[in-house]
Amino acid sequence: MIIQPKVWGFICASAHPAGCEKNVLDQIAAVPRMQGNGPRRALIVGASTGYGLAARIVAAFGYGASTLGVFLEKPGKDKRPASAGWYNAAAFERAAARAGLHSLSLNADAFSHAAREHAIALIREQMDGPIDLLVYSLAAPARRLPDSGEVVHTALKPIGAAFSGTTIDTDHDKLATVTVEAASEAEIGATTAVMGGEDWTLWVNALADAGVLAPDAKAVAFSYVGPEITWPIYRHGTIGRAKQHLEQTAATLREQGVDARVAVMKFIVSQASAAIPVIPLYASLALKVMRERGLDESAIEQQVRLFRDFLYRTDGAAPALDADGLLRLDDRELRADVQDACKALWPRVNDANLAELTDYARYKREFLRLFGFARDDVDYAADVAPRVDFAPLEL
C-alpha cells in the first residue's frame, strides 16, 4: 500500500516502516563507542519511542548491553500500517541482531502485573544475570490499575484556576488562543496515578523481590520542568504534579537502598508533548533559539550525555545533582540567554511572521519524522508492505 501521513492536531494515524527504520538507524549511527563500565543488562519500560528508545539504543550500541524492551504497540495489517513504535522496535531488533547484541522485546501493557511477571521470567530464563539498569519511560494517556482493573486517564489541565494561552493550531498553521479549565481533584489524582511514580515503584519492587535486580542497579525515570512560559499548564498543572510525585518516588526508593534518580530532560518534539497546550509555540521558538546558539540536542544526544556524564562517568565521580537531587539535562534549554530570547519573541509572534520568528517548519517536520515521514531519502509514493518481519514476545 501507499502510506501517507494522516494528521489531525497532535494525532498521526499512520506510520511508514522504511522511514521509521531509517530514524532508528540514524540514532544508532549517532551513538559513539562509550567508554568505561556501563550497563550489562538493561530493562527499558517504554522502549519503543522517544527517550526510552534512545536509552535502549545507547545501552545496547554504546555499551554492548543485553536489553529487554517493554512496550505496547500495534502491528500492521494488510491494509493498515503498524504504529510507529512497532516499526521502531522492529528496526531496533534487526539492527541488534546484525550487531550480535542480545535483545528481547515484550509487547504488553507495562502497567499490568502480568507484564512484570513475564519480564521477570524472561530475565531469569534468557538473560545471563540480574538487571543492572532499569529505565522507566512510560508516557501514556491512560492506565488500567493492576489491582482493581479501573482505567484512569491523564488530564492536561492547570490546577486552581483556568488557563488561557497562545498556541499554534497545527491543522491550519496559525496562532490560536486556548482556554483550559482547572482540573478537579479527581483529575489530579488520576493523572498522578498514570504519570507519577506508583508504577515505577511496582517495577522496582517486583524485580527486587524476584531477585533479578542487581544490588548495584541504577534506576532512572524521566521528567520535565520547562520554562516559566509553560508552567501554568505544565509544571504547576496536573502533569507537573504527577512529575513531582515521580521525583518524590525516587527519593523514597533511595531510602530503600535503590540507586534511583529522575533525569530532567529538555523538550523534544513528541506526540505526548504536542498534546500539551502552548508547547507547539514554545517548541517552535526554542528550536530556533537553541539551534542558532548550537545548543539543541536530539533525544539520542540527550541520552548519550545522560549515560556518559551522569550515570556512568569514567572518572568515577558522583553525578552532578541539583538541590532536589535531580539530574538536570535541561540546563542548555533553561540557560538565561535562551529563555530571555524566547520570552522576547513570544509576544511578537503573529500569523504573518510565524515562519520568520520561529522554527515552526522544523517543528512540523520533526513531528512527521516521529512517524517515519518527512525524510528526503524515502520514496513515499512507493508501494510498501505494512507488515514487517517482527514477532515480539507477548502475554
Q: Which positions are annotated as active-site residues?
A: 234
Question: Residue 263: phi, psi to the nearest 5?
Answer: -100, 120
In DSSP notation, 145-203 reads: -TTT--EEE----BSSS-EEEEEEETTTTEEEEEEEPPPPHHHHHHHHHHHSSHHHHHH
How many CB atoms lie under 10 A from the CB of residue 190? Answer: 23
Reported as type and span, the H/E element at residue 42 is strand 41-45
Q: How far apart are CA 322 and CA 312, in angstroms?
A: 18
Q: How far apart are CA 298 and CA 347, in angstroms?
A: 27
Q: How far apart are CA 221 and CA 50, in angstroms?
A: 13
Give 3-state DSSP helix, strand, coil % of the chain, rounded to 5.
40, 20, 40
Angle at 272 between CA 51 and CA 22, to 5 degrees: 50
In DSSP notation, 322-375 reads: -TTS-EE--TTTT-HHHHHHHHHHGGG--TTTHHHHS-HHHHHHHHHHTTT-S-
Closest by CA to 134, choosing from 206, 190, 183, is: 206
| Coil, helix or strand at residue 297 | coil
Q: Cell triple for residue 360?
A: 515552526
For 80, which DSSP code? Answer: B
Closest by CA to 285, choosing from 219, 366, 355, 370, is: 355
